[in-house]
A and B are shown apart, each in its own frame.
Chain A
Amino acid sequence: MIILQLFLSFIQIGLFAFGGGYATLPLMEKEIVLSQQWLTHAEFLDVITISQLTPGPIGINAATFTGYKIAGYCGGAVATFAFCLPSVIIVLLLMNFLKKHGTNPQINKVVKGIRPAVITLMVAAAYSIITGGGITDLKGIIIAIVSFIVLQTHKMNPIIVLVLAGIVGIIIY
């Protein structure tokens, strides 16, 4: 029964989680900690820390880990699946809609109108890394600048840049 409840809760979270990972966490906390009382606030903070330190999107990590804490491996799988389901369906429906009506001038205008907002949300994500304590000292600033230069001028593979920066972190901190 808890599995079904978990499924329904995460469908609901997935359906209303607009705005990416960091917008998802408060929603998840409301449902998991306040409404269902599956986890305490302290346990949920653990979930967030682990989610940030683990590869993969934060929302997915948080869903997997919360589901696991509540109902084991199966719970983790169900929560992750339920969290993804609404967004996959909605993206497919939107794509279908645009395929049929994308040539409509009004709809085309809306789609193009959204483009500057895409940049806005990305700038906000960058800003939240800075204000969220992602860069704490001069060393961090230097890593950011060097990574940026390497990415822009040498077109280095981003994965290699991430791993090298992490190794540099282990060495200098």
Chain B
Amino acid sequence: MKPDNTEKRNQLNSGKIILFSLFSVFFKIGAFTWGGGYVMLPLIRNEVIQKRNWITMEEFIDGISIAQSAPGAIAVNTATFIGNKVAGKKGAIIAVLGTILPSYISIMVIATFFLEFREMTVVQNFFKGATPAVLALIISAIIDIGKQSLKKYYNVIISVGLLFLLLYFQLHPILIIIIAGTLGLFIKEQT
């Protein structure tokens, strides 16, 4: 009986530990997601794939596809995906809470104490310096993910064509996803 209990307790503990680390990892990611959800992707790669091996790069790419196919913030959707993969629905909720809590806290602090926050030159200059780094982060995420998902030459063509539709014809992002999914149906010998 005793070993059974210990095992059960260990399972419970490791369950709690994984939930706690999910929360802390996504809290950290949420706090450093500046200027749009995509900044989060290199952070996730670093924390979730490289450091902790919670999911594979392949699963990560599927996760981003799902995050973009669903409405709402990319950051929240990606957190839901990873949380659910790692620890089920509970994990999803914990990861989302971790992602949004830094936002909630900082907005409340700013709204309560210093609405003139955005007038502060130090803050403005900090973000003036950080924004180009945000761009660098997104570009390095594009390269990392592109290496995986643009292996086939026709995918490069599709991606460029879609970019043209998006930027030149101003098609809605969800239409871009729908067109790509439909095109996928007609492509043979996908691996």
State the CA gap A54–B131 with chains docked (Å): 12
Residue among B37, B73, B136 making CB contact with A84, cutoff 8 Å: B73
Assess the A91–B100 pair: CB atoms within 8 A: no
B3-43 residues with Cβ-Cβ distance < 8 A to A are 28, 30-43
Q: Tell me what chain A mostly uses at the interface: helix, strand, loop, or mixed.
A: helix
Closest Cβ of chain B: how far from A52's Cβ, in Å? Answer: 7
Docked-complex contact A19 and B80, CB < 8 angstroms: no
Number of A-B contacts (CB under 8 A): 356
Which residues of chain B come closer than 8 Å to A117, judged between CB atoms?
65, 68, 158-159, 162, 176-177, 179-181
* Residues on B with beta carbons closer than 8 Å to the beta carbon of A144: 132-133, 135-136
Contact call A88/B163, Cβ cutoff below 8 A? no
The complex places the Cα of A125 from the Cα of B135 at a distance, in Å, of 9
- A residues contacting B by CB (< 8 A) are 14-24, 49-61, 64-65, 68-69, 73, 76-77, 80, 83-84, 86-88, 90-92, 94-95, 98, 106, 108-127, 129-130, 134-136, 140-141, 143-145, 147-148, 151-152, 157-159, 161-170, 172-173
Question: CB-defined interface of B158-171 with A at 8 Å, one 1/0 digit per residue?
Answer: 11001100110000
Once bound together, how far apart are the Cα atoms of A109 and B152, in whole Å? 14
| Given A64-B107, A140-B132, also A114-B99 (CB < 8 A) | no
B48 interfacial contact with A, CB 8 Å: no
7 contacts between A and B (CB under 8 A): A76-B111, A83-B73, A94-B69, A113-B185, A118-B149, A121-B68, A126-B142
**CB <8 Å contact, A64 and B108:** yes
Q: Judge if B113 is at the interface, Cβ distance under 8 Å.
A: no
Task: Provide the residues of chain A in CB contact with B126, threshold 8 Å.
Answer: 166-167, 169-170
Cβ contacts under 8 Å, B162 to chain A? 116-117, 120
* Residues 80-112 of B at the A interface (beta carbon under 8 Å): 80-81, 84-85, 89, 92-93, 96, 99-100, 102-104, 106-108, 110-111
B183 within 8 Å of A by Cβ?
yes
* B137–A114 CB distance below 8 A: no
3 closest residue pairs by CB, A with B: A113-B184, A169-B129, A87-B72
A18, B175: Cα distance in complex, Å: 10
Residues in chain B near residue A24, CB distance under 8 A: 72-73
Check B130 against A55 for contact (C-beta < 8 Å).
Answer: no
Instruction: Give A45 Cβ to nearest chain B Cβ, in Å.
Output: 11
Within 8 Å by CB of A124, from B104, B158, B163, B182, lies B163
Establish whether residues B38 and A20, one from each chain, have CB atoms under 8 Å apart when the complex forms: yes
Is the pair A50, B117 in contact by a Cβ cutoff of 8 Å? yes
User: Given the complex of chains A and B, what is the CA–CA distance between A18 and B67 in angstroms?
Assistant: 10
B118 touches A122 (CB 8 A): no
Q: Are A56 and B30 in contact (CB under 8 A)?
A: yes
